[in-house]
């Protein structure tokens, strides 16, 4: 099967150009927010908790903060990218063009994931200005970064198709994703929790993402890195299946 690279480049290029037009919102705002996290949590909590499992607290929270921004930005970028054409009605021009579902998804999700990976690397660079950082497994760090960005960009694409108004577009990121990330070991190790709450926390899928990503930095993990990688790949597979079903049935695309 040949891929219409011209169509993919057109969609991808348009979405990447939109980032340049909204630079303050897309790039600068998350970086500034992360800097504030370092100032607040580093000063307030870091003065009370000097180390976590032998790692300075300021350094320990870096993977969690990157993952927090990565998840929220991947979902937001991809959901808005597909929702806006549906809202304005221009999605029908894309659907009627000689472009396959795979090429549409590749363009939109690829652009959203690219933005998120760039943002994650920028936040990593910003963090290095505040705390000393050493990445024990740089290849695995990039692998987790890219796989997570792809998975949650696909998830955002699904939300953008499901949502029929701007309120629903923000419902899942604000009321579901952000709380799960904060409760997923972003600012602490789940080993610090009582045994009962450790067990409860393991039902939070974000724990596995943060744990695997933190392992790539420090070699420390709340759950085995193979389990973390498996959870990321499982979520990616589920999102791919959902997107395939959406285009097969035309769910909220043809009405």
Kindly indicate the confidence band of residue 95, based on its pLDDT and cuts at 50, 70 and 90. confident
User: So what's the pLDDT on residue 37?
Assistant: 78
Residue 10 burial (C-beta neighbours within 10 Å; 0-12, 13-18, 19+) = middle
User: So what's the pLDDT on residue 1?
Assistant: 55
User: So what's the pLDDT on residue 215?
Assistant: 96
Residue 185 region by backbone torsions, left for phi larger than 0, else alpha for psi between -120 and 50, else beta: left
Q: How far apart are CA 151 and CA 127, in angstroms?
A: 24
Q: Which of 40-54, 114-128, 144-158 has the lowest mean pLDDT?
A: 40-54
Q: Which of 20-34, 132-146, 186-200, 218-232 has the lowest mean pLDDT?
A: 20-34
Residue 195 has pLDDT above 60, yes or no: yes
User: So what's the pLDDT on residue 27?
Assistant: 74
User: So what's the pLDDT on residue 137?
Assistant: 96
User: So what's the pLDDT on residue 127?
Assistant: 85
The conformation of residue 89, written as its DSSP 8-state character, comes to T
Tokens (6 digits) for 192 = 């610090």
Residue 56 β-bridge partners: 51
Closest CA to 181 of 94, 67, 90: 67
The conformation of residue 48, written as its DSSP 8-state character, comes to T
pLDDT tens string 21-60? 776 666 777 778 877 877 777 666 666 777 888 888 888 9
Residue 52 β-bridge partners: 55
pTM attached to this predicted model = 0.92
User: So what's the pLDDT on residue 38?
Assistant: 73
User: So what's the pLDDT on residue 66?
Assistant: 92
Q: Which of 35-44, 96-105, 201-210, 236-245 has the lowest mean pLDDT?
A: 35-44
Cα distances (Å, whole numbers) of residue 167 to 72, 90, 91, 109, 162: 16, 21, 20, 22, 12
Q: Report strand pairing: 51-52 vs 55-56.
A: antiparallel
Reduce the DSSP state of residue 107 to 3 states and report it: helix
HEC-encoded secondary structure of 120-179 = HHHHHHHHHHHCCCCCCCHHHHHHHHHHHHHHHHHHHHHHHHHCCCHHHHHHHHHHHHHH
Cβ–Cβ under 8 Å, residues 114 and 152: no
């Amino acid at each position: 099967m040949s891929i219409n690279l011209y169509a993919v480049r057109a969609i991808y290029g348009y979405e990447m150009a939109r980032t340049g037009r909204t630079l303050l919102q897309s790039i600068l705002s998350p970086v500034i927010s992360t800097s504030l996290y370092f100032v607040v949590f580093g000063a307030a909590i870091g003065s009370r908790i000097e180390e976590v499992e032998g790692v300075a607290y300021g350094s320990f929270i870096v993977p969690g903060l990157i993952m927090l921004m990565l998840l929220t930005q991947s979902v937001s970028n991809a959901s808005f990218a597909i929702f806006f054409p549906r809202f304005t009605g221009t999605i029908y021009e894309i659907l009627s063009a000689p472009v396959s579902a795979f090429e549409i998804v590749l363009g939109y999700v690829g652009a959203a994931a690219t933005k998120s990976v760039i943002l994650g690397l920028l936040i990593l660079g910003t963090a290095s200005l505040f705390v000393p950082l050493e990445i024990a497994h740089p290849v695995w760090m990039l692998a987790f970064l890219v796989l997570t960005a792809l998975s949650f960009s696909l998830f955002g694409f699904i939300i953008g198709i499901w949502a029929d108004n701007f309120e629903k577009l923000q419902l899942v990121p604000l009321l579901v994703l952000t709380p799960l990330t904060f409760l997923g070991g972003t600012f602490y190790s789940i080993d610090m929790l009582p045994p009962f709450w450790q067990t409860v926390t393991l039902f939070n899928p974000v724990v596995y993402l943060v744990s695997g990503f933190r392992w790539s930095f420090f070699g420390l993990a709340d759950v085995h890195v193979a389990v973390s990688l498996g959870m990321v790949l499982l979520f990616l597979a589920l999102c791919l299946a959902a997107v395939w079903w959406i285009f097969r049935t035309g769910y909220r695309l043809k009405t």
